Amino acid sequence: MKEETWKTSITKVEPNKLLLRGYRLDELMGAVTFSQGIFLAIRGNLPTEKEGKILDAILVSSIDHGVTPPSCLAARTIASTGAPLNAAVAGAILAISKHHGGAIEDTMDLFQKAVSLKKTLNATHEEAALAVIQEYSNAGKRLPGYGHRLHTKDPRSERLFQMAYELDIAYDYVKVAGAIEVGIEKTLGKRLPLNVDGAIAAVLCEMGFPSELGNAFFIMSRVAGVIAHVFEEQTTMRPMRHINPTEHVYDGVPERTLS
């Protein structure tokens, strides 16, 4: 083994045999879902059934949010120049940053700080929540994960937390997330409901993901929606059009239910 040899523990590649975290890829195919495969690749082990279900919900929740998010607009702008799909998708991912998707990582840091305080101080969720609100306020920092410019009651956050409770994986992080929402109203006198970034952050914390991977799930999820937008742009719009983010109408299928 020469000096510059380096180590990887993700995939073992041999002729006619591929092991992802120890499992043969062809054995995984047909046996696990894409979400389970994603969990396996990133964490090194397969998720429990509950973890698989909630991860599916996280990844479904953020597939798309219409044409106005910067990731969608960057992708459509690039696609309108005749660029290939991968360039448009790469441009979208570059727009998933601090103010767009980036709140997941910041909110995971917030919740980890709160839960850590709770343990250190042997405090309740409510006390820990008030302590971090105070800490951010003293530091002049905005609390990430709360409030949305459009949704006053985000249906995605509500559904995700409902699932977390039903699946019995709502422990400290989900609870402290709720306590912070209550604490904000008490302290600052305004309702800033947990947004979808915040709800995803709490559930990722419950599953033991480090905050550095928070945005990864938003990226994977949104890439699917971006691909739909790029394809729509390429097949229905003229190249080099001026894309006004606000002057658009939805002309798809009307509301329907899963039955």
| 24-63 residues near its own copies, rule: CB under 8 A | 24-35, 37-38, 41-42, 44, 53, 55-57, 59-61, 63
The amino acid that residue 184 corresponds to is: I
Alpha-helical segments (H) within 152-244: 155-166, 172-188, 196-206, 214-236
CB of 36 closer than 8 Å to CB of 46:
yes
Applying CB under 8 A, among 139, 168, 190, 255 the residue interacting with its own copies is: 255
Residue 23 binds its own copies (CB under 8 A): yes
CA distance linking residue 85 with residue 65, whole number of Å:
19
CA distance linking residue 144 with residue 99, whole number of Å:
10
CA distance linking residue 118 with residue 126, whole number of Å:
9
Number of residues that bind its own copies (CB under 8 A): 127
CB of 239 closer than 8 Å to CB of 82:
yes
Identity of the residue, 34 or 171, whose beta carbon is nearer to its own copies in the bound complex: 34
CA distance linking residue 86 with residue 79, whole number of Å:
9
The amino acid that residue 259 corresponds to is: S
Residue 256 binds its own copies (CB under 8 A): yes
CB of 145 closer than 8 Å to CB of 101:
no
Identity of the residue, 97 or 124, whose beta carbon is nearer to its own copies in the bound complex: 97
- Choose among 250, 255, 247, 218: nearest CA to 108: 218
Cβ 192 to its own copies, closest distance in Å?
15
**Binding residues among 135-154 for its own copies as defined by CB under 8 A:** 150-154
Cβ 125 to its own copies, closest distance in Å?
25
Q: Which stretch binds its own copies (CB under 8 A): 17-25, 122-130, 133-141, 183-191?
A: 17-25
Tokens of 25: 């890829």
**Binding residues among 62-91 for its own copies as defined by CB under 8 A:** 63-68, 70, 73-74, 77-78, 80-91
**Binding residues among 194-253 for its own copies as defined by CB under 8 A:** 212-213, 215-216, 219-221, 223-225, 227-229, 231-232, 234-237, 239-253
Applying CB under 8 A, among 104, 115, 132, 163 the residue interacting with its own copies is: 163
